[in-house]
Structure 1
């Protein structure tokens, strides 16, 4: 579901999913370090807490919390995409992709998001995030998937 420009609410937690256009791609796990860097750079520029995240070959899911007084979750995600895209060898800049309609952007134009309603909804979405590699048949146990925040939570490190 594309982003429908509903206002994000300051201090709230959100579940989100983002997909690459190429559903056969393995780019996100092949370039996991670059994606991690993109998230860290975006967090430095516009802080937010990553409560849970999982990166699969062609898509990712996460739960993050915006700071009090800040409702700009959409801009954070577009910044993460732009930072990640710029790091990829051979990828034209996003501005070029916008002008050249024959070039297909890396990501689907929008991303799915859902405002977390309460503690039960939060727990359900964090579990969904962490179980996703199992659902897709990548591993038998969620803790076996290396591209997941489940390891931080299991160690007691808390959110990213």
Structure 2
């Protein structure tokens, strides 16, 4: 999540820096992106790390640091730097904490992947999952995992036509 819920993550500069940071980190500390959605003020993802590697937080820290450095010129808010941010050398792009969940089984995995892909609709950003460009949903449609109309259209009423 962004610091103070800034609506910046879908900005081209942030997206480009995020993509490059992920590439850089994955070269040295590999992980597979199973699902991802980028929203204006937060993101959700599922990664698979190599066997016997649980260093998820280290990877996130590196990604956040690389994005912060790459975007500091345009996104660092000096008026938001307080003593705590200074002490922990934090940027004004990211919030300090994040939520982490270890996937327990295939059902849990499927449920979380669906949640990730549906998130832009849940937050009212779009009416159909297919309409949101910053998501692995499109990759999964191409692979035949989802259909383009998965989860329907939020603007269409559910059920039959009872008006006649």
Give the TM-score, by structure 1 length. 0.77
User: 2:134, 2:26 → 1: CA distance?
Assistant: 18
Summarize deviations over 1:57-108 as a string: whole Å, max 9, x none: 010001111111211111000011011111104238xxxx85368x863211
- Greater relative contact order: 1 or 2 (C-alpha under 8 angstroms, separation 6 or more)? 1
User: 2:93, 2:7 → 1: CA distance?
Assistant: 12
Radius of gyration: which is bigger? 2
In structure 2, relative to structure 1, the CA distance for the partners of 1:157 and 1:87 (3 Å cut) is farther
User: 1:74, 1:100 → 2: CA distance?
Assistant: 19
More strand by share: 1
Q: Which runs of 4 or more aligned residues in structure 1 lie more than 3 Å from their structure 2 counterparts after TM superposition?
A: 97-101
Q: Does 1:129 align with 2:112?
A: no
Query: Where do 5+ consecutive residues of structure 2 fail to align?
Result: 78-83, 146-164
Provide the aligned C-alpha RMSD in A: 2.5
| Structure 2 residue corresponding to 1:107, chosen from 89, 94, 97 | 94
Give the TM-score, by structure 2 length. 0.75
Q: Is the 8 A contact 2:68 2:91 kept in 1?
A: no
